[in-house]
Amino acid sequence: MVKYKTAIFAILIIFFLGFSYYPTLFELSQKGKLAGKGRDFILEHNYYWPDFNLYLSKIKQGYEGRLLVVEKYTSEPHRGSLIQIFYLGLGAIGQLLNISPNYAYQLGRFILSFLLILMIILLARKLFGNSAFMILAFVTTVVSGSFPRLVNTADGLKIVRFMEWWSNIDSLQRLTFIPHIIFGQVISFFLLYHLAMTGKRLSGKQLLFYALLGNLAGLVFPPSLITLNGIILCLMLFKLLKKKPVATYWHIFVISSSFSLVYLFLTTNVMPWSALVEFHRTHPMMIPFKDYVLGTGPVIFLGFFGSLAAVIYRDRRFYPLILWVAVTFLFAALFSLVREQSPLRFTQTGLFIPLGLLTSYFFHRLWQFFRTNNSRSLLIAGLTLYLLANLYIMYNSLKWQISFITQRVNADYPAVPYPPQTMYPLSSWMEAISWLEKNTDHNSVVLAGATAANFIPAYAGNFVYFGQSNTVDYNFKQKQMEKFFKGNMSASEAQIFLRNGRIKYVFFGIQEKELLGERQLEEIYPFLITVFKNSTVTIYRF
């Protein structure tokens, strides 16, 4: 790669990573500016879902020196597993570097985002060589996003994205998204490149290395490996139909990398790991097709035209990318019928990458088709307008994120929110969680309301009876938790409930008091012993 292109890519990498990471940096700059003076600043991510603390609880287990992951959002005794081992590894790295679990998460996010961008550059270089179209392909892939949506607000018309609640298709947020999802994208595209795009023979050591990476991808983010293996199987089928020899390493890779998927299948049939699959069965995230197409943006149509061009011109370099798009939607359709995984999860495999590269190929073919200066000038104008429009959508996403963070910084009501990450926690509330961390056995189970139970495994390290979708018998336990805190159990019923749930401590804070009303919990359940009390929280031992 010539030097000036290296410099251009260096500038682009810094720009796009900085652009995507800016909301996090902005939030850090607000650390001493919280309107609620009795609140603690905590750096979090992806605030709109109650999953951040789930990841943090696994990272914390890495700090504790665990070799296998346990599910701290449920109270049943169980053995550890390799599920979400990625975050346990992040925790081990964080402990080695002596940084907090929150910053270990951010470190993983930043490093993997950088690797994702390098992966896009590698693919662009493979497909377009060292031409200027390589730069265009990279920029097009990174910026392509939603169609603009006009909404009426009190301040007038505003341009926003479609499907804003699904941050994974936001062209700004997806670059520095949730670490395990980016990990799956990086590994699966790296493997696609080496297994299906270079045409080189693989040595035994290389194949072993790729099989290990495939199993890691399967453990960390299964849809990535399922999609990759689906593509390889399709390529094998095409070879067989044409009566051409099929590469042996494809057979070996698909079989050997599938060990992780078999392991997940067997493990998720055992409690508590079965809870997540059961939750997806009962709460599947379906693909709202119209909104998804509009949210993905013009690139979904331009990528289709690029696919047609590749087929018409028999440009086999792009076939794996075409298959990536086709297999993604095939599995999304399959899991719409077979409720073992949410169909929308398959759109998190980095679909924007093949769509962006196929769109760039379409532009490349148009450039070759247009021969006159005037027609090429019009094409350049159209490309410039397309890229600027997408950059504007990214800028609007940035403004929206900054606005949300600003509101979060200024928020002081309600005292304890749900979803958990929508506000910074009360200092006195966090003091109680800190007491649990320092004064209790982390294998003990705590009963708490929705928000406290979401925080406790992440910051105290205890197990909780109920607290997240990974909780076994989630709906039943939620009702039992509410029944207890509403005081609707007799003393004997409560004792049986606590004993059966293996509950050692009861966290009684603002959210829990709202369920009980004006009464005192120790009057209803006199067997509870107060072990901690401040202005916000009382912790009882059973």
At 259-304, the pLDDT tens digits run 999 999 999 999 999 888 887 777 778 888 899 999 999 999 999 9
User: If you average pLDDT over every residue of the chain, what do you get?
Assistant: 93
What is the predicted pLDDT for the residue at 48? 65
Verify that 238 and 159 share a domain, yes or no.
yes
* CATH for 518: 3.40.50
Verify that 208 and 320 share a domain, yes or no.
yes
In a domain, 414, yes or no: no
Verify that 246 and 207 share a domain, yes or no.
yes
Phi, then psi, of 530 in degrees rounded to 5: -70, 125
In a domain, 49, yes or no: no
In a domain, 346, yes or no: yes
Which tokens sit at 135?
Answer: 């730069």
* 2: confidence class by pLDDT, cuts 50, 70, 90: low
Q: Give pLDDT tens digits for 482-497.
A: 999 999 999 999 999 9
Verify that 350 and 439 share a domain, yes or no.
no
Q: Give pLDDT tens digits for 24-45.
A: 999 999 999 999 889 999 999 8
Domain count for the chain, please give it.
Answer: 2
Verify that 468 and 340 share a domain, yes or no.
no
- Using the predicted structure, report yes or no on whether residue 19 has a pLDDT greater than 80: yes
Select from 337, 367, 401 the last residue of a domain: 401
Task: Show the domain range for 533.
Answer: 420-541
| Residue among 501, 436, 472 nearest 73 (CA) | 472
Strand order in the sheet with 463-464: 463-464, 445-447, 503-508, 538-541, 529-533
pTM over 0.75, yes/no? yes
Q: Give pLDDT tens digits for 422-448.
A: 899 999 999 999 999 999 999 999 999
With a CB cutoff of 8 Å and minimum separation 6, the contacts of 429 are 415, 416, 452, 509, 510, 536, 537
Verify that 354 and 390 share a domain, yes or no.
yes
Verify that 371 and 443 share a domain, yes or no.
no
In a domain, 195, yes or no: yes
Verify that 275 and 197 share a domain, yes or no.
yes
Residue type, 98: N
Verify that 343 and 446 share a domain, yes or no.
no
Verify that 499 and 452 share a domain, yes or no.
yes
In a domain, 239, yes or no: yes
Select from 367, 401, 435 the last residue of a domain: 401
Q: Give pLDDT tens digits for 343-400.
A: 888 889 999 999 999 999 999 999 999 989 999 999 999 999 999 999 999 999 999 9
Average pLDDT over residues 185-194: 98
Verify that 222 and 364 share a domain, yes or no.
yes
In a domain, 41, yes or no: no
Q: What distance in Å separates the CA atoms of residue 241 and residue 257, rounded to the nearest whole number?
A: 24
- Using the predicted structure, report yes or no on whether residue 1 has a pLDDT greater than 80: no
Which tokens sit at 325?
Answer: 């798009």
- Report helix, strand or coil for 455: helix
* 275 vs 139: which has the higher pLDDT: 139
Verify that 276 and 369 share a domain, yes or no.
yes
